[in-house]
Chain A
Amino acid sequence: MSEVTILKMGKNIIVPIQVELHDRAALRLQEDILKKIEETESTGLIIDVSAVSVVDSFLGRLLGETAKMARLIGAETVLVGMKKEVVITLIQLGMVIKDLHTAINIEDGMVLLERLKSGRPSIQEQEV
């Protein structure tokens, strides 16, 4: 099991990342998230990175991949809480994370998630 808590709320899973993840721990978390979605038949995933101070190319790519994988087993993903310093750095680093839905906080993330699930995304989709 990874050291990150995975919470279930209704049909959604919420993952608040509160620790600095090294590469193996991040891979383990990805596996645990997918397992949890499968077990609980969740249809939504929120990954909260508001406490994450560094997103490098590895973690950035992994987050994008996790969203794609989650979709393949039936869950939409919204990444919430990315800090502006992290965003600026990711873009300058040259990262392209496509098709990842984002929101400013968990509350907005939940709203977006429900819209995505109902197949009527009205918040402008973002590409990082």
Chain B
Amino acid sequence: MENRAEMSVGEISIISDEDVILARQKVRLQAQEMGFSLLNQTRLVTAVSELARNIVVHAKEGKVSVFKARAGDKTGLKVVFEDRGPGIPDIEKAMEEGFSTVGSMGIGLKGARRLVDEFDIKSFPGKGTTVTIKKWL
């Protein structure tokens, strides 16, 4: 069994554009403190921006939770994006390049996935969506 642990370092409720910036700043600060390179900070914060925006655009409200994570000898940041919006009926289609129901150019999900090390999405139509990303140091 791999040695896994995580510790919450903050939670931001997302209801407006301004909250997306707050989530970005929170993650940026944590990533800086943990010693992420500037490039990896930028990748992570950009992914956070895309995914937090999805909450505002598709679900109106939700929350972003930030964790310090450890798995085996890796440490890093885990960020969870939760909403109780309409959910995504077809995740595979939503992950396709160019697909978007609300004209955000369909880059959001797939693009964000490329910027992080681990990406997980769970969605239940009518109940909401949870996206979890991890970036290791």
Contact = CB atoms under 8 A, between A and B. Distances in A.
Nearest to B49: A56
Interface residues of B, number: 28
Interface stretch (B64-72, B74-82, B103-111): B103-111
A53 B97 CA distance: 25
Q: How large is the interface on A (under 10, 10 to 19, 20 to 34, 35 or more residues)?
A: 20 to 34
- Interface SS of B by simple majority: helix
A54 B46 contact: yes
A94 interface: yes
A7 interface: no
Interface stretch (A21-29, A38-46, A69-77): A21-29
Interface string B12-49: 00001110110011001000000000110111011001
Given A56-B50, A57-B105, A57-B108, A92 B21 contact: no
B4 interface: no
Interface of B: 16-18, 20-21, 24-25, 28, 38-39, 41-43, 45-46, 49-50, 53, 97, 104-105, 107-108, 110-112, 114-115
Interface of A: 20, 22-25, 53-58, 61, 83-86, 88-90, 92-95
